[in-house]
């Protein structure tokens, strides 16, 4: 039955998104700690989960298409989840689908917020790295003021303190 299949697929989608939420929280802590090795592991896990979500989304779409075809419903203008719910005969299945929808919407909102925070943390880290590189590669600033003792010596010659050898 397509309704039971849809419930199973949505439950799997919810489960994977819950795992993604857990990883997003861990990623935030890893970004703060600067643990690059663990960050790479998390990104790899997320990639696998996102691929799995893509396959589940295809299954969900096929299940909804079967449901529409079995009921001879019009799909020309698109078929929303709310439209689908109006055609579910069993109250238990309808209620379960409504609950899954609400849980998924709330979870996806939470994931979006966590991802925004993580994106900001990554951006701050990149800004810091860029600032550090600029400091290391910066050309020395010519000294404007010289004490009278230094004025008697040869003209000011700045020492190169650049970390990177620009002549190479």
Give 10-residue mean pLDDT values along the chain (168 residues): 89 97 96 92 96 96 90 79 89 96 97 95 89 80 61 53 50
In-domain check, residue 154 = no
Q: Please give the backbone phi and psi of residue 160, each rounded to the nearest 5 degrees, phi first.
A: -80, 120
In-domain check, residue 79 = yes
In-domain check, residue 144 = no
pTM here is: 0.75
Q: Check residue 134 and give its pLDDT.
A: 85
Q: Check residue 11 and give its pLDDT.
A: 97
Residues near 118 by Cβ (< 8 Å), separated by ≥ 6? 24, 27, 28, 31
In-domain check, residue 145 = no
Q: Which stretch of DSSP H or E encloses residue 82?
A: helix 81-86
Contact (Cβ atoms closer than 8 angstroms) between residue 111 and residue 17: yes
In-domain check, residue 91 = yes
In-domain check, residue 167 = no
| R_g of the chain computed on alpha carbons | 29
Helix (H/G/I), strand (E/B), else coil: 139: coil
Task: Domain count for the chain, please give it.
Answer: 1
Q: Which two three-digit tokens encode residue 73? A: 């419903």
In-domain check, residue 158 = no
Residue 31, burial from CB neighbour count under 10 angstroms (0-12, 13-18, 19+): buried
Contact (Cβ atoms closer than 8 angstroms) between residue 98 and residue 85: yes
Range of the domain at 29: 2-139
Q: Check residue 18 and give its pLDDT.
A: 97
In-domain check, residue 165 = no
């Amino acid at each position: 039955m397509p309704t039971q299949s849809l419930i199973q697929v949505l439950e799997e989608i919810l489960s994977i998104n819950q795992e993604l939420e857990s990883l997003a929280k861990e990623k935030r802590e890893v970004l703060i700690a600067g643990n690059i090795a663990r960050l790479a592991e998390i990104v790899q896990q997320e990639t696998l989960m996102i691929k799995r979500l893509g396959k589940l989304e295809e299954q969900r779409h096929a299940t909804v298409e079967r449901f529409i075809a079995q009921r001879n419903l019009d799909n020309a203008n698109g078929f929303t989840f709310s439209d689908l719910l109006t055609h579910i005969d069993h109250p238990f299945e309808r209620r379960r689908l409504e609950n899954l929808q609400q849980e998924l919407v709330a979870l996806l909102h939470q994931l979006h917020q966590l991802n925004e925070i993580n994106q900001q943390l990554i951006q701050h880290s990149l800004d810091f790295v860029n600032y550090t590189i600029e400091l290391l590669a910066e050309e020395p600033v010519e000294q404007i003021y010289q004490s009278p003792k230094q004025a008697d010596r040869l003209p000011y010659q700045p020492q190169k303190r650049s970390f990177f050898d620009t002549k190479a």
